[in-house]
Amino acid sequence: MSEVKLATEIRTEFGKGAARRIRRASKVPGVVYGHGADPVHVTLPGHELLLALRTPNVLLSLEIDGKTELAIPKAVQRDPLKGFLEHVDLLLVRRGEKVTVEVVVETEGELAPGSFLVENVLNTLSVETEATHIPTSVTVSIAGLEAGDSIHAKDIALPNGTTLVTDPEAVVIQILSAQAEEPAAEAEGESAGAEA
């Protein structure tokens, strides 16, 4: 897992106007909390933070008021239209500390011959792992699976030191048989006739 260093500034101005001024300066307002300490309002460099957040569950090394703190992103708010970062909540962590995070599920391999569809029922798994060794993803093999087969959370191999929090019986991936196109075309013809 990657660790990204970011310089922060303590934020003393609050409210929408202050947040807009921070964003105009290509920075992002945020709050750092955890370990029973009072929340610290900070300003982070926008571009560096955006690049760091491309890695799921990235570990951030923050310079806060002369001290180095480790944190993970807990909530990220983006502009719904333009996608730029509006605000970020960061959770303080310590080396060796266990945290619960969402890890992306990726698939590999090819299905058995035939027309099948892969349905990702769950795109992420909730796991407990050490804060400095958070996996970026878990990989599931779908090689040779056929329609009607499914993979449950308990069937997915997790890295050492990582334990499953998601219900072990939860279906993560299921294989469906592809439906023929003809019935859909007939249904369209019937609905067109009904409209006429």
When comparing pLDDT for 161 and 17, which is higher? 161
Is the pTM of the predicted complex or chain greater than 0.95?
A: no
| C-alpha–C-alpha distance, residues 33 and 130, integer Å | 18
The residue among 50 and 83 whose pLDDT is bigger is: 50
Q: Which two tokens mark 188?
A: 């369209």
Task: Identify the pLDDT of residue 184.
Answer: 45
User: From the CB of residue 68, how many other CB atoms can be counted at a distance below 10 Å?
Assistant: 9
Q: What's the pLDDT at 152?
A: 92
Structure confidence at residue 1 (pLDDT): 54
Whole-number Å distance between alpha carbons of 143 and 111: 5
**Contact assessment for residue 153 and residue 166, using Cβ atoms and an 8 Å cutoff:** yes
Tokens of 196: 């006429």
Helix (H, G, I), strand (E, B) or coil at 12: coil
Flag whether pLDDT at 126 surpasses 70: yes
Predicted local distance difference test score (pLDDT) of residue 47: 78
Question: Does residue 189 or residue 31 have the better pLDDT?
Answer: 31
Helix (H) or strand (E) holding 189: helix 182-195
Mean pLDDT of 71-85: 78
* Exposure b/e, 106-122, CB count within 10 A at least 16 = b: ebeeebeeeebeeeeeb
| Mean residue pLDDT across the chain | 79
Of 91, 82, 78, 71, give the one whose Cα is nearest residue 28. Answer: 78
Is the CB of residue 101 less than 8 Å from the CB of residue 134? yes
Count CB atoms within 10 A of the CB of residue 82.
7
Which tokens go with 42? 């900070």
